[in-house]
């Protein structure tokens, strides 16, 4: 079960029996600050859950007699939700980040590209960090805030703080390397020689 499917199935299990209500809660609680849930993806996810027999849809009628498509969780869905919850708690922390792939092949860049990229990444990380600090203050001031939301924001703040510290430390390391472009070129040559050697050995 994907993370998005897990969230939507949890909503249905909590009694949100219509897709428009799910969208309303997402908007009201500003959950897109935490998760990637587009409006169109809600319908797609519900269809996916129905295909997996985790939910069933049914026809109902509103006050004006307008037909609406309701959703309810199945027993299979409840078991899947319980299993997914256990699996997500036992999952490994996600360590890799797009910037890590850049560093893996940093010998294909130059000093200016790497340092400018780090400065840009640091600026954006600090912006997002401030956003979630403000978010935390808002949640703490609101007595109706959910405990889970506060835990998510605290988690984001902790991760962003560590990321900012890592970028600053990495910048210091790079500044301590004399003639960084020459060091990158030397590394590129060493890697190309290694790959050529591997090719001939095969």
Report the pLDDT averaged over residues 137-158: 91
Domains of the chain: 3-89 (1.10.10.10), 98-201 (no CATH)
Distance of CA 189 to the CA centre of its chain: 36
Report the pLDDT averaged over residues 194-200: 85
At residue 177, φ and ψ (nearest 5 deg) are -90, 115
Q: Which two tokens stand for residue 30?
A: 């500003």
163-173 pLDDT per residue, tens: 999 999 999 99
100-111 pLDDT per residue, tens: 888 888 899 999
Q: Which of 16, 19, 62 is nearest to 41 (CA)?
A: 19
Q: Which of 61, 23, 16 is nearest to 44 (CA)?
A: 23
The CA dihedral of 30, 11, 39, 88, to the nearest 10 degrees, is: 80
Q: Which two tokens stand for residue 179?
A: 């003639």
Task: Indicate the helix (H) or strand (E) that contains 111.
Answer: helix 111-141
Buried b (16+ CB within 10 A) or exposed e, 102-136: beeebbebeeeebbeebeebbeebeeebeebeebb
Distance of CA 44 to the CA centre of its chain: 19
Distance of CA 97 to the CA centre of its chain: 11
For 65: left if phi > 0, alpha if psi spans -120 to 50, otherwise beta; the answer is: left
pTM, entire model: 0.76
pLDDT(177) > 70: yes
């Amino acid at each position: 079960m994907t993370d998005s499917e897990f969230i939507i199935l949890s909503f249905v299990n909590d009694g949100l029996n219509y897709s428009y209500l799910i969208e309303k809660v997402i908007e009201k609680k500003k959950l897109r600050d935490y998760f990637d849930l587009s409006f169109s993806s809600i319908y797609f996810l519900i269809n996916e859950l129905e295909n997996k027999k985790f939910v069933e849809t049914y026809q109902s009628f509103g006050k004006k007699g307008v037909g609406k498509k309701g959703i309810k969780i199945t027993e299979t869905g409840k078991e899947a939700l319980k299993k997914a919850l256990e699996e997500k708690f036992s999952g490994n922390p996600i360590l890799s980040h797009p910037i890590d792939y850049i560093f893996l092949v940093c010998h294909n860049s130059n000093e200016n590209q790497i340092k400018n990229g780090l400065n840009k990444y640091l600026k954006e990380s600090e912006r997002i960090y401030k956003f979630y600090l403000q978010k935390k203050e808002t949640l703490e001031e609101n007595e109706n805030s959910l405990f889970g939301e506060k835990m998510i924001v605290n988690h984001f703040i902790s991760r962003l703080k560590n990321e900012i510290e890592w970028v600053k430390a990495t910048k210091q390391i790079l500044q301590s390397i004399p003639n960084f472009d020459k060091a990158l070129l030397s590394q590129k040559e060493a890697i190309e020689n290694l790959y050529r050697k591997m090719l001939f050995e095969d």
